[in-house]
Amino acid sequence: MDRLIEYIGHHPLLVAGAVVAALIVLAYEYYLRMQGISAISPQELIRLMNQGALVLDVRTLDEFAAGHISGARQMPFEQLPKASETLKKHREKPVIVYGADETSGPVVVRKLASQGFTKAFCLRGGLATWRAEQLPLAKG
């Protein structure tokens, strides 16, 4: 414990930066929870897919063709107002949404939740996280 106090005394800027980074992460997670948005990891996505979850890719058709999660269904952001009719049989099942990064997922999940989807999630970090973990992508 004495060494920790000594370290903090010698590196106050480094410790302050670590504390600020931790607070930002906690605030972002709290914000997502308050918005009713749960972000899941790629491993959780795989587990839910094995249980029959629907996976939606909200990127453009060209981006989807260049590489997507196997079994994902491409649905551009513009088609979301019609999503409740085309996906109504999935309202009670888990629905996982992802885009190129983490910005589009939470927006789409909010829209789906407002349309009655009770188990909508987004992939934390989007497809970039999936790629970073070197998980396979389907093409075409």
Only one residue has tokens 């999935």, namely: 90
Q: What pTM was computed for the model?
A: 0.70
Count: domains in the chain: 2
Same domain, 77 and 27: no
What gap in Å lies between CA 120 and CA 27, rounded to an integer? Answer: 21
CA 24 – CA 32 distance, rounded (Å)? 12
pLDDT in tens, 50-68: 999 999 998 888 999 999 9
Q: 8 is in which domain, residue-wise?
A: 1-34
Q: 128 and 67 in one domain? A: yes
Q: Report the alpha-carbon distance of residue 124 to residue 140 in Å, rounded.
A: 24
> Are residue 26 and residue 45 in the same domain, yes or no?
no
Does residue 46 sit in the same domain as residue 14?
no
Tens of pLDDT, residues 95-139: 899 988 877 788 888 888 888 888 888 898 889 999 999 999 988
